[in-house]
Amino acid sequence: MAVIRPSGDFDRNYNQDMALIRKPWQWVLLLLSIGAVATSPYWAPPYVYIKANQIGYTLIAVQGLNILTGFTGQISMGQSAFMLAGGYISALIVTYLNLSFFIALPLAALGAGLVGLIFGIPSLRVKGFYLAMATLAAQFIIPWFTLHMFPEYLGGQNGIISAPVPVIGSYEFNEPARFIHITLFVLILTTIAAVNISRSRMGRAFVAIRDNDLAAELLGVNLFGYKLRAFFIAAVYAGLAGALRAHSSWQIGSEMGYDLSESIIFLGMLVVGGLGTNLGPFLGTSLIILMEDFSNIVGTKVSAVMLTGMTERVLTSFRPIFFGLILMLFLIFEPRGLAYRWQLFKASWRLRPFSH
C-alpha cells in the first residue's frame, strides 16, 4: 500500500522496507496499548474488560469476513453460522474427548474451515447475490443441523450445550477478567496473520479476483483455488471466534445470537470500518458494539422521559434503528469507511501546515 510519508523518511535496507512497524515510538505505543488491554481487569471497571473481550472475539470473525468479502469480494452472509460450527466443535471436543481447550481451539478452527470450504465450493460458478444466497443457505442449514441432528450431542431442540471452562493447571479462565488474555492472544495472532496475508502473493491474488476476476485468471491466478482459500480462511477465523465466544460464555447454542441478523451486523461492521483494509475491522467492530450500548442508554433515557411505559419496546427497537441508520448513512456518505477517514486525517497532519 502506498503510504504517504514525510520527506526525509525513507528506507535504507530491505528489512526496513518490509517492516510493518517502522518507528520505535510506534512499537512503544503498540506495546503500551496491548499492555493496557491485558491489564485492564486490574485497573478498569468490569464494563471495560467485558466489552474488550466481546469486541475481541467479534473482531476475529470480522477480520475473517474482511479477507473473504473485503479483499476477495465474495459476499458471505454465513459468518455467524461458521462461528456456531466452530463453537460447537470446540465444546464437543473438550466435553467428549477430554482434550484441553488449547488443543480444541485450533481443531475447531480447522473444522469450521472445512465447513466453510463446503459452502465455498459454489463460489466458482455463482457470483454476486447468487453467492450471497448460497452462503445464506449456510446460515439456515447449520443451525437446522444443530437443532435436529444428533440431539444427544448437539442439544436438540433446546439448542444449547455447555462449553467447559478452559483450564491451565489449576488456573481457570472462568470469567471475562481472565478469559480476555486468551482472546487477546488469539487476536494478536490473527491480526499478524491477516496483515501478512494481505501483503503476500495470496492477498494480492485476492484483490485481483475482487477487482476483475477474468483479468486475474489471465494473469495466472487460479480462481477456484484462491476463492476456496479465502472461504477457508474466513471460516477458520469464524471458528476461532466462535470457540472463544462459546467458552467465554460457558455455553453455545443456535438460539443465542448466531442468526442471520448477526451475520448482517458483521457485514455492517466491515462496511462502517472500511472494506479491504486491515484497520477497518478494528474501527467498525468497536464502533458498532459501543453503539449498541449507547442505544441502550439512550433508549432507557428516552423511555424515562417521554415514552413512559414502553421501555421494553423502546429498548428492543433502538438497536436495529441505530444500526440500520448508521449503516445507511455510511453507505451513502462514506462508503470507504472509517479507515479511509483515518487515512485522510493522518495525511492532513503529516503535511501540516501545507495541506495541499
Partner 1 sequence: MNWELLPQSIINGILTGGVYGLIALGVVLIYKSSEVFNFAQGHLLMLGAFITWWFAGADETGEELLNLNLGFAVIAALIVIFLLGFLVERLALRPMTGQPLLSIVLMTLGMALLIEGLVSIVFGINVKPNFPAPISRIEMFKIPFEYQYNGIIFVQKLRLAAFLVAMFLVIVIGLFFRYTRIGLAMRATSEDHELALSAGINVPRIFGFSWAFAGVIATAGGVLLAMLTGASLTLSTVVLVAFPAILLGGFGIFPRGDHWWHCSWISYRNCQDIHRD
Q: Which of 168/321 has CB closer to partner 1?
A: 321
**Nearest distance in Å: CB 80, partner 1:** 14
- Quick one: 65 or 187, whose CB is closer to partner 1? 65
Minimum separation from the CB atom of position 318 to partner 1 (A) = 7
User: What are the cell numbers at 9?
Assistant: 523518511
Question: Applying CB under 8 A, which residues contact partner 1?
Answer: 69, 73, 75, 128-130, 132-133, 136, 261, 264, 267-268, 271, 275, 310, 312-314, 316-325, 327-328, 331-332, 335
Beta bridge partners of 172: 167
C-alpha distance across the termini of the chain, in Å? 21
CA-wise closest residue to 266 among 86, 85, 78: 78
Shortest gap between Cβ of 79 and partner 1 (angstroms)?
Answer: 14
Q: At what angle do helices 280-305 and 337-350 cross, to 10 degrees?
A: 110
Q: How far is the CB of 177 from partner 1 (least distance, A)?
A: 33
Amino acid at 299: G
Question: Do the Cβ atoms of 267 and 320 come closer than 8 Å?
Answer: no
CA distance 281 to 338: 10
CB of 316 to partner 1, least distance (A): 6
- The runs of H, that is alpha helices, within 97-127 are 101-120
Residue 102 or 144 having the CB closest to partner 1: 144
As measured in angstroms, the least distance from the Cβ of 154 to partner 1 is: 17
Cell of 18: 518490509
Strands (E), the chain: 160-162, 167-168, 171-172, 251-253
Query: DSSP character for 68?
Result: I
Minimum CB distance to partner 1 smaller for 52 or for 67: 67
Distance separating alpha carbons of residues 46 and 23, to the nearest angstrom: 34
Query: Which residue, 61 or 267, has its beta carbon nearer to partner 1?
Result: 267
Our CB check for partner 1 shows the closer of 21 and 328 to be 328
Cβ distance to partner 1 smaller for residue 184 or 223: 223
Query: Which cell goes with 304?
Result: 424515562
Residue 133: CB minimum distance to partner 1, A: 6
